[in-house]
């Protein structure tokens, strides 16, 4: 019998992907720095080092002294300001899988103790000061916030900010770890990425349309991972 929960998350939430709803996306800004070209490049061992650079910037940003903007919410029974703390910083996406071709973009899942609207005055200025531009807010999708690197060094970065106990973070981890350990699906995903990127460039599509082209193969790979893990 499958487990009821994984790492404190209901199994059903992990197994059920979110249905994309573009009309609910709240755009905050347009990118200051142009996104990289939609091209799949060969794996680069330096991607892991670049992740560590971005990770260090994020950690340093949250170590800044507390100021007036930190008092974003107060406990009902006192005057102690509630701060936002980092729960995890995870390298995800294709650049996190050694040997996997990818777009030249580092993807990071930043999990905070809370990332909802009332806490933005705490963490948004810190992340923007560290070189991450606030682009999108998606409250319906596990309170997802999307930031993009506003600097060109060391390379482009997509920063996804989530709150605690987020099923999407668990899905990203499972997918990453599966590809690291299974060469056949790693090769399948590499082929799919190249084919989808070529088609999207030929048709003048954007990265969201490219991502949609990959969805069926991602779903197949996750199903195999869920099955072997005993979740299905």
Residue 224 lies in a domain: yes
CATH number of the domain to which 160 belongs: 3.30.460.10
Find tokens 């404190």 and name the residue. Answer: 8
**Quick check: is 18 in a domain?**
no
Q: How confident is the model at residue 20 (pLDDT cuts 50, 70, 90)?
A: confident
The per-residue pLDDT for range 25-74, each reduced to its tens digit, is: 999 999 999 888 899 999 999 999 999 999 999 999 998 765 544 444 44
Is 78 domain-assigned?
no
Is residue 53 domain-resident?
Answer: yes
Pairing of strands 156-162, 105-112: parallel
The pLDDT confidence band at residue 123, using thresholds 50, 70 and 90, is very high
Cis peptide before 166 (omega within 30 of 0): no
Q: What is the pLDDT of residue 65?
A: 62
Asked if residue 161 is part of any domain, the answer here is yes
Number of domains in the chain: 1
Q: Looking at residue 79, what is its pLDDT?
A: 40
Flag whether 71 is in a domain. Answer: no
Within-domain flag for 168: yes
Q: What CA–CA distance (Å, rounded) separates 21 from 16?
A: 15
For the chain, the first-to-last Cα distance in angstroms comes to: 9
DSSP strand pairing (144-149 vs 156-162) = antiparallel
| Residue ranges making up the domain that contains 160 | 38-60+83-228
CA atoms within 13 A on the CB side of 148: 16
What mean pLDDT do residues 177-190 have?
98
Confirm whether 200 is domain-assigned. Answer: yes
- In tens, the pLDDT along 124-144 reads 999 999 999 999 999 999 999
Write down the pTM of the prediction: 0.91
């Amino acid at each position: 019998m499958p487990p009821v929960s994984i790492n404190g998350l209901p199994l059903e939430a992990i197994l059920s992907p979110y249905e994309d709803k573009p009309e609910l996306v709240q755009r905050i800004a347009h990118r200051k720095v142009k996104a990289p070209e939609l091209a799949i490049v060969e794996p680069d061992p330096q991607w892991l080092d670049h992740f560590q650079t971005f990770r260090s910037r994020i950690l340093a940003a949250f170590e800044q002294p507390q100021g007036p903007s930190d008092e974003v919410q107060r406990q009902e029974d006192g005057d102690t300001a509630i701060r936002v703390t980092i729960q995890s910083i995870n390298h995800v996406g294709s650049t996190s899988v050694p040997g996997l071709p990818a777009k030249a973009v580092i993807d990071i899942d930043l999990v905070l103790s809370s990332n909802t609207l009332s806490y933005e005055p705490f963490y948004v200025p810190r992340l923007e000061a560290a070189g991450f531009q606030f682009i999108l807010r998606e409250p319906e999708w596990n309170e997802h916030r999307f930031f993009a690197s506003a600097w060109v060094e060391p390379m482009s970065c997509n920063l996804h900010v989530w709150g605690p106990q987020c099923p999407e973070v668990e899905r990203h981890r499972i997918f990453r770890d599966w590809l690291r350990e299974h060469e056949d699906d790693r090769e399948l995903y590499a082929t799919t990425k190249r084919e989808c990127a070529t088609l999207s460039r030929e048709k003048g599509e954007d990265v969201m349309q490219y991502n949609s082209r990959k969805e069926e193969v991602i779903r197949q790979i996750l199903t195999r991972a869920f099955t072997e893990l005993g979740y299905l």
